[in-house]
């Protein structure tokens, strides 16, 4: 039996990564990306810009493995978009293209279109916070701002944690109450109202008790008695400097273009043209690069990995 004398390449197995390449950057770089992303969604009020930004944010959330939360936000955003598009014409009668008039209220095409753009901008911000909560952990947030304002940082962290914590506890209390035969979906209005009051009572008592225990624990550990330090240090690497070297100048150019009216559609007093100028398309390309920063890093990592395998 002859032996195969050909040299075989070592088999390389890809190690699955649960974290993004973007998460490995310095927290200041990640925080800069999210500040720029939210600012762009509010500055570039143009339907083409907003729709492209929405698509890119969905891609970033998909790569960040927040698909379930993203679908929930998108489902709720349909109602929110319709609500804003109906509410804005009722409170804002500006515009020259009158669609309908009833009871002294004027419905204009400009107000409906502006409500649509406002809804898109709000949806982009909500979807951005999905990946933000996944990438910028509480430890990274404390590292960024604890030395600047420790009390305000702690208050912000408690506020961001407050709503999902209350929802989770309310679900657990509701399940426990159902086992006891107390359900807010059964009985008449008085019985359902009493059930809701009992659930809120248990929720508030549990929350206040946990808050007192947390305060005692923090006091025993000496929180606020001196300058706070972080047990985890994040150093700037070459990749961080390279990322900021092109990201910050591009951000400055895009916002300078926005200050010149590029990337902003005229709505009042009359709807302007939706078409983009050649300069507008260049600015849109710059915004695409800003929003695609995590996607660019992931694509580069994938390409580099396949080059190493080959």
Q: Tell me the whole-structure pTM to 2 decimals.
A: 0.71
pLDDT digits (tens, 9 = 90+) for 46-76: 889 999 999 999 999 888 888 778 888 888 7
Exposed / middle / buried, residue 291 (Cβ in 10 Å: 0-12, 13-18, 19+): buried
- For residue 230, is pLDDT > 60? no
With CA atoms as reference, report the closest residue to 133 among 26, 61, 51. Answer: 61
Q: Residue 137 and residue 148: Cα distance in Å, rounded?
A: 18
With beta carbons less than 8 A apart as the criterion, state whether 114 and 92 touch: yes
pLDDT digits (tens, 9 = 90+) for 100-120: 777 667 778 788 888 888 889
pLDDT of residue 155: 67
Q: pLDDT averaged over the chain?
A: 78
DSSP-H helix ranges across 180-188: none
pLDDT of residue 283: 93
- For residue 213, is pLDDT > 80? no
Q: Residue 57 and residue 62: Cα distance in Å, rounded?
A: 9
What are the extents of the domains in the chain?
22-148+238-309
Query: How distant is the alpha carbon of residue 284 from its chain centre?
Result: 21
pLDDT digits (tens, 9 = 90+) for 5-36: 444 444 444 434 456 778 888 888 999 999 99
Higher pLDDT, 181 or 301: 301
CA dihedral (134, 136, 137, 142) in degrees, to 10, reads -160
The bridge status of strand 105-108 relative to strand 98-102 is antiparallel
């Amino acid at each position: 039996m002859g032996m195969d004398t050909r040299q075989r390449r070592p088999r390389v197995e890809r190690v699955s990564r649960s974290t993004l390449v973007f998460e490995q950057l310095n927290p200041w770089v990640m925080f800069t990306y999210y500040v720029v992303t939210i600012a762009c969604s509010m500055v570039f009020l143009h339907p083409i810009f907003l729709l492209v930004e929405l698509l890119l944010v969905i891609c970033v959330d998909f790569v960040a493995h927040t698909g379930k939360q993203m679908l929930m936000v998108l489902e709720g955003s349909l109602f929110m978009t319709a609500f804003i598009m109906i509410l804005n014409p009722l409170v804002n009668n500006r515009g020259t293209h009158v669609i309908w008039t009833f009871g002294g209220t004027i419905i204009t095409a400009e107000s409906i279109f502006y409500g649509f753009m406002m809804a898109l901008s709000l949806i982009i911000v909500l979807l951005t916070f999905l990946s933000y909560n996944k990438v910028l952990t509480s430890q990274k947030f404390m590292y960024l701002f604890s030395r600047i304002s420790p009390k305000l940082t702690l208050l912000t962290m408690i506020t961001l944690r407050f709503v999902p914590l209350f929802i989770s506890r309310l679900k657990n209390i509701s399940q426990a109450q159902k086992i006891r035969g107390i359900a807010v979906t059964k009985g008449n209005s008085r019985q359902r109202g009493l059930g809701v009051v009992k659930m809120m009572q248990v929720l508030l008592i549990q929350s206040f008790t946990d808050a007192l225990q947390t305060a005692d624990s923090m006091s025993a550990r000496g929180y606020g008695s001196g300058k706070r330090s972080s047990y985890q240090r994040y150093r700037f690497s070459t990749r961080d400097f390279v990322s900021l070297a092109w990201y910050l100048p591009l951000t400055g150019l895009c916002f300078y273009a926005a200050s010149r009216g590029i990337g902003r559609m005229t709505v009042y007093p009359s709807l302007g043209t939706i078409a983009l100028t050649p300069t507008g398309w260049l600015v849109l390309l710059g915004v695409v690069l800003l929003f695609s920063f995590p996607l660019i890093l992931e694509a580069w990592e994938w390409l580099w990995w396949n080059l190493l395998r080959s």
